[in-house]
Structure 1
């Protein structure tokens, strides 16, 4: 849909005549900007409804609706809004609602930014959706065999195809009364009306604290929720029916493969640590960047470089609080809008001069872990470029400090979670200039022990 000037499309000079109004019936219309040809509003009506908006823009100057604001700018430019009918002679208002909703969805599907305040009639339930999602509403295939430990939550909030990923996550993550089995789960799954709608990798659990949804001072029994990250490796579980799984009467959770008490557990944060973690979770995400697996070097037991894969170093989205942390550049110069900050979210990390190489004392550029044939297997060390190159065959993981500084909590936690290091978190915090009381530190200690 090209955006070209529409000087050749002249608006109707005056409203519809009574005869036209009678014959035209219900209709769905567009408002188009004559300066660039863009459609900026879709509506339905009868009579002279299509012309009412231009009148409102002039007679209601204090109304700041986006639709009317744009019309005023058009009028100030000496132009008139172009009005077009998508469909007319529609027999009923109900049918007009359906046509309007379909047109809105189609316009937004091709990237048009409309000024409509709301979507069309019933569009959340029956509007734009992938064929996969639409089929699952009526006949979802059964959940495939799963080996990983999962906890499924039957969310109370109404799910629709239009529900955002953020809203679905918030509806799923908490707040629940759970037993010890939940901490053995590796993934959390959202279930609505017997069909899976979201899946996340569980990073940790924490108690509900002030500021969380529905929190009360006498929160008894204690309710918990998980902090999770996207799990693209588990998307094959989405839009699947779980109705064949064994479920307790009235239960809001379903556990799969969580019965073994020897399974590793995710940390549970409580008290002041839970409060600090909640504050970190709520930090504004005003800009984002992504570090990629290829930024990190991993070697096997023979010292051969292997391609990073799986959950160890999957791509991760990082938050930056723009108000407190002005953007800087990475040492590598490959990202221009990066927040170099420590895990407390406020203090810039030390410069490379403050982080000497463990072997030669020169400024370090890498965080490495000793490999199987090194003098200190699994130990986190700081290396300069030269020492990393000389001892590369003895290293298991090498992470550029320019990458680590973008996302220290996530990267360090993944090293601890998969057993790539057992270094003392206190020493790691000291060497890297990180906050030894932040959420990463508490979780690292729990994973280490």
Structure 2
């Protein structure tokens, strides 16, 4: 159990509501406080900027927090008085946290499915990527095990040159700090099942995709990305960065049973989000979709919802409403969960070939009305 100090996300509101901050801004009685109110305001402004840059970040000691918040680059040449330091530290949340356990090794089946992969390690405290590497097997976890003294677990295969001593020391310290603060490292696979290619254009294109995936992880507002490459981007299930947990779920899942006919499959990438409620999932699943008239005329049509090739829910569509102008209409269904089908399908893996396809259509709707062939509309 360790005590940590976390900068609140709404730090400005918290500061302005704190009596110690109000006292600092209105009088010079605190230790080291400047008599000139303009100087005190300049101090406060610099500290607020620093706190905003570190909102959500957790520190394992007052000394570490002070070094970043009051003496870091965001402060510039401003000297922060003891009075303001003390007032700010009193409003930063201090709480005890237990260290998260280190990750367990991947199963042989998952490790084999990943093949050669490129990965990134992300600090959940500020969403920064602090390491990128390439490897096979459990290499993605091996840095955690090494940093935390779990050497007996090491069995990952690295690729390429070993890290410089300075690099290794840096990621060891970062990983230890993350776990000491009560968090665990985010492990992201940027690309897996990599085959050596000899096509220069293909290699350049793939390299571009990997860089875009890495930068996607830094987006604070995914719906309004800073990186313009992401604007209007469809959800590509097979070629995007995914957490090891997501990939483990994919490759550990059993194949889905025979798909119901008639029925429909709908790809809802957002259904993979953690913490999604049943109502939120249903709202996402309803559409609108390119549902053809034949599908809409099937009473209680089974609708299988999947994301990242894993089934997330199964509904029975009882009615449909049109959305959009005539000739360009799509359809939104109303229905209810089918408990029997969910018991059979949720958590299983469904791939395009199961529906007679080479890839899922971009619009996400696949209807299967006969065993002969699937329909995109």
TM-score, normalising length: structure 1: 0.31
Q: As a proportion of its length, which structure holds more helix?
A: 2
Query: Larger RCO: Structure 1 or Structure 2 (Cα < 8 Å, ≥ 6 residues apart)?
Result: 2
